[in-house]
Every structure is written in C-alpha cells, then in structure tokens.
Structure 1
Amino acid sequence: MADKGKTRERIMDVAQASILSKGFEATSIDEIVAAVEITKGGFFYHFSDKNALARALLERYIEEEDRLFDDLFSRARELNEDPLHAMLIGLKLMAEMLDDIPKGHPGCLVATACYQERLFNTEVRELNRKAVLNWRERFLAMFEQIASDYSPRADVDLTDLADMLTGVVEGGIILSKAIGNPQLTSRQIMLYRTLVKTVFAPL
C-alpha cells in the first residue's frame, strides 16, 4: 500500500514540474509514464484521466499553500500579537522565504489553471475559484482585525487590499520569470508591505 502511495506522489511530482514548466496541455500522459517508469495502466490505476490528475494536483497544492500561510502568520503572531505588526512580520517572512529559493518560485498551479481554464472540467475550475476566494477570506480577516485597531489613513477597500496580496505574489512570479531575476517576487512583497504600513500605521 505504501508503494502505491509513493507511485501516486511520484506521478504528481513529475506532472507538476512539467505543468509549471510548459503548461497542462503540453504535458502528456506518455511523458509522465516514461519519467515515472510505469505503464499507462499504472497511471490510470491512480487517475482516471488528466482532469482527475489536475484536481489531485490542485488539492495538494492548495493544502500546501494553506499550511505555508498558517505557519508564516502563526510565527508572526508569536513574535508580535499586534495585528498590524504581525501582518508586517508575516509579509517579511514570506519575502525571506522566497529569497531562499535560489532559482525563484517554480510557479503557481492555481494561476496555471486560470491561464488554461478551457482545458479543465467544471469541477477543477470550481476548485481553483474556491482556492482564490479562500485566500481572499484569509487575508481579509487579517485586515479587518487590523482596521479595528488602526483606522486606515486612506480610503481603501479591504477586500481589494486582500486580493492585492495574491495579485502581487502571482504577478511577482511572472515578472521574475520574464526578466530572469529570482529576487523580484520578494521585492514586490516588500513593496506591498510598505503599502500596508502606509495605509494603517499612525503618523
């Protein structure tokens, strides 16, 4: 049973690397099978089709991202209980984490699914949509807590500010890859951090 679990994870690892590198459509079952060294029957034992694989990859990716956010912002709250300072620390930790990836962030499966949504069934598209909305709710709750202690110094919609963090990270990954500078994503996050500080920190 353990070997079956390892094979499934290996299929997902190989598929994820290929999808982030060249896209879902260009990633074939044949190349995955060859890389994992299994038969096509072995692939279909674990996944009924490519949409089933995409769903499993997204579920795993979302779980990992949620765990990462939980860890970063829990550590930030341990360092400072004040909601604004905890957010600022969490953003700094996120930037530092991305700086520690030598070749930069490999890419986001949620963004990839958005770019190529016509390739996926309704179930996969809905899972992707919920992931983005869940991240909105996570960061919105943080900003609402900050706003209850610190009156914003600018007319800012907190939902837009929460969405902006996802946009900054995803956009930073694209910018970093396009220019070939792995540090750009972390620099974008630090600029966003400055914006948050400017909006909420007292004069």
Structure 2
Amino acid sequence: MRKGNATRERILDIAEAGVLAKGFGATSIDEIIAEAGITKSGFFYHFHDKNELARGLLARHRGRLGQLVDEIFGRAAELSDDPLQQLLIGLTLFAEHMAAMPGGHPGCLVATMSYQDQLFNREVRAMVSSIVEDWNGFFRTMIEKIVAAYPLREPVDPGRIARNITCAIDGGIIMSKSLGDPSVLPEQMLMARNYVKMLFQPAALHAVPREALAA
C-alpha cells in the first residue's frame, strides 16, 4: 500500500474506533491527528472537513459490508439452489461469523451516525439512508425469490420481512454492546432466521394438538 493510502487508512481506523466508542461529535480532528502522528495539514490533505471524513468512513463501511455479504451468501448459494435454503444457510453462516468475532461486534457505524444526523450535511445523511436501503433491498430480493417458490403462511409483505431481518442484525449489535454480551447478536440473527423459516413452513407443522391446549 502506498504511503498516502496507508495514512488515509490509518486516519479512518482511528476515526472509526473513536466514533464507535463515543460518537462522531465527541471524536475530534485534533485527537485523530495526535494518535495518527501526523500534522493538521496532513489530515486535511486527505479530508477537507469532518463531513468528508464521515463520507470516507461510510464508503469504506459499505465496501467491507458488501464484500462480507457477498462471501457469506455466495457460499450459501454454492451449498443450495433453493432460495429459502440459501437465506437460511446464509443467516446461519452470518451468525457464526459474528459469534466468532473476538470481543464481539465493535458496533454499527451507520446506527451511530443515524443517532447524530444533525452533525452532518445532506450528502452524508443521504449516504446513511442509502446504505440502510441497500441492506433492506438485499434481503427483500432474497425474500421475493422465496415467495415466488413457496406459499407464505401469513400475508406479510416481503419488504417488511426484509426489514425484520435488518432490524434483528442492527438491533442485535446495539443490544450486545448495551448489555456487554456478544452472544445477543448471533442469537437475534438466528431468531430472525427461525421467523423466516416458520413463515414458509406448512401450517400443519406448527399446529398445537388440542390435548396440549387443554393440559
């Protein structure tokens, strides 16, 4: 990696750690400069202001997330041609990946920036919304393929199912950090997986025997 690129990545690494630990507003350019061991002009060579820094963080986050999702769900597609099984396998692999992260997931950059959206210009806010829409759209596409092959047990819109999965992941990240319990995230991802599985399984598999209700 070229020195200029390495410096940019170092700045982004330091900024991301600060943002996830205490928020964007509390992460100052001065502290990033001090930790990176660069001059103020060196920082502004790469990022003209904090909004440009935010865009850099989001662009990198989007790229990394896209690569991870492609790898995990690409593997799921290799293991099954069935659209339902692809999603179920993918969510299982995703949960296993999150469970294996040392110390748990560090936090959701998009969620953190969403809570502090008043700090950003229109372009940054649009990037945050776009990443969330892409995330929902990815799962919606998968759900629509499943709906075309399987009957739904309940009349639920594919977009709402997709958002349920996204909320389970993002909410799991937030709750894991709030409780200091890394197991919450993979747990909630598997709960979302089970919800999808139940939606497309025959109703007879979920029928409760009358004698059980009377017991």
- TM-score range for the pair, normalised by the shorter chain length: over 0.9
Do 2:108 and 2:174's aligned partners in 1 also have CA atoms closer than 8 Å?
no
Q: Does 1:167 align with 2:171?
A: no
Cα distance per residue 1:49-97 (max 9 Å; x no partner): 0100000100110111111111111100100110001100000001000
CA distance in 1, matches of 2:47, 2:102: 33
Q: CA RMSD in A?
A: 1.0
1:33-182 to structure 2, matched below 5 A, reads: 33-182=33-182
Do 1:79 and 1:86's aligned partners in 2 also have CA atoms closer than 8 Å?
yes
Identical columns (%): 50
Residue aligned with 2:152, SS: coil
Cα distance, 1:104 vs. partner? Answer: 1.0
TM-score (norm 2): 0.92
Stretches of structure 2 that go unaligned for 5 or more consecutive residues are 206-215
Q: Which runs of 4+ in 1 moved over 4 A?
A: none
150-159 vs 116-125, greater mean Cα deviation? 150-159
- The residue identity in structure 2 corresponding to 1:64 is R
CA distance in 2, matches of 1:177, 1:42: 33
Cα distance, 1:201 vs. partner? Answer: 2.4
Cα distance, 1:134 vs. partner? Answer: 1.1
CA distance in 2, matches of 1:59, 1:102: 24
TM-score (norm 1): 0.98
Do 1:102 and 1:182's aligned partners in 2 also have CA atoms closer than 8 Å?
no
- The residue identity in structure 1 corresponding to 2:56 is A
CA distance in 1, matches of 2:193, 2:124: 32
Count, aligned residues: 203
Cα distance, 1:177 vs. partner? Answer: 1.0
Structure exhibiting the larger radius of gyration computed from Cα positions: 2
- The residue identity in structure 2 corresponding to 1:189 is M
- The residue identity in structure 2 corresponding to 1:42 is G
Corresponding residue for residue 12 of structure 1: 12
